Amino acid sequence: MSERQEGKHHAAQIVHGIKAAGGKMGEMIGVKAPAPKRQSRIKLLLSVVSPSDEAKLKEILDDVSVGLSWTFAGTGTARSQVLDYLGIGETEKSVVVSLIPESGEDAILRALRTKMALYTVGKGISFTIPLTGISEVTANGLNKAVASKTAEGKMITSQERKYDLIVVAVEAGRVDEAMEAARSAGAAGGTIVRARALENDKAEQFIGITLAREQEILLVLSKRESKLAIMKALSGKVGIKTEAGGVIFSLPVDKTAGISAADEAEMRHGEEDE
């Protein structure tokens, strides 16, 4: 190594040492280093609100960021006296699925929480689900609509997630049994969506069962520590080998709004500290 190269290497070591010392000093006096920047991804935002709030939700999405959305009708769980994660008192629900840029995720949830009063438990709920892929044209188009093309902080890991979305597809008329089973394992409630199974002859041949064509889908938002117990109870009561013929799976949930008073208070406190 030449004398000049040695000088550059030595200078680089000094700069690195200064940065490291500065970071440690910052931690000691309570100053946080800026969050790392990374390319913004597209995420799925799932919202369960009253039908009258559909337009307001879309207006907020487009005002704060951007969202490519679809909506379909659902109903709350049968027992209205049970406090429901996804709504209290109303039976008609709109399930709104939106593709949003990750760089706008926090701002969107904050706006939905305040402008739609999602901090009031039972008003509605929104949460984001990570995607493993999306068409490049769609992703580029949505990211072009927002000012920031990057997101802050690290991606949420499995260990950091607090909730999962449990999805149960059962024969029509059996969804109450599914909800009973979920409640027996600690679930507070869910949302029901009517569905129709397609011609699944090939898959059914390998599974060894024929699925009913008319089905109902139950969506249950579960705390992570309760997920396995709820899924086990569902499997025993309405699983694939029962008369209900239920197909059960879960999806990871990243960030939420409107779940519980305690979670909303914690979220607002965290936003005030930023």
Q: Cβ(190)–Cβ(220) under 8 Å?
A: yes
**Token reading at 205:** 């041949």
Question: What is the sign, positive or negative, of the torsion defined by CA atoms of 257, 259, 261, 262?
Answer: negative
Q: Cβ(236)–Cβ(253) under 8 Å?
A: no
What is the separation of C-alpha 271 from the centre of its chain, rounded to a whole number of angstroms? Answer: 19
Name the helix (H) or strand (E) containing 127.
strand 125-130
Q: In whole angstroms, how far apart are CA 137 and each of 114, 134, 142, 144? A: 32, 9, 9, 11
Residue 85 has what pLDDT? Answer: 46
Q: How far apart are CA 261 and CA 85, in angstroms?
A: 11
Residues in the chain: 274
Q: Please list the pLDDT of the chain residue by residue as tens digits (274 residues).
A: 555 556 555 655 654 554 555 555 455 545 555 556 667 789 999 999 989 999 999 999 999 999 999 998 888 764 444 344 444 444 788 899 999 999 999 999 999 988 998 867 667 899 999 998 888 888 888 888 877 666 666 778 888 899 999 999 998 899 999 999 999 999 988 889 887 766 666 666 666 666 667 888 999 999 999 999 999 999 999 998 898 988 899 999 999 988 765 555 555 555 555 4
Name which of 67, 130, 61, 57 is nearest 95 in CA terms. Answer: 57
User: Can you list the domains of the chain with their CATH numbers?
Assistant: 37-75+82-156+261-273 (3.30.70.120), 163-253 (3.30.70.120)
Residue 76 has what pLDDT? Answer: 72
Residue 36 has what pLDDT? Answer: 63
Cβ of 215: how many Cβ atoms within 10 Å? 23
Residue 20 has what pLDDT? Answer: 54
Question: What is the sign, positive or negative, of the torsion defined by CA atoms of 63, 65, 66, 72?
Answer: negative
Name which of 187, 186, 194, 189 is nearest 169 in CA terms. Answer: 194
43 contact partners, CB below 8 Å, separation of at least 6: 99, 100, 101, 102, 105, 128, 129, 130, 131, 254
Residue 82 has what pLDDT? Answer: 39
Would strands 163-171 and 42-49 be described as parallel, antiparallel, or unpaired? unpaired
Residue 78 has what pLDDT? Answer: 41
The identity of residue 153, as a single letter, is G
Q: How far apart are CA 253 and CA 105, in angstroms?
A: 13
**Token reading at 125:** 């709920």
The identity of residue 62, as a single letter, is D
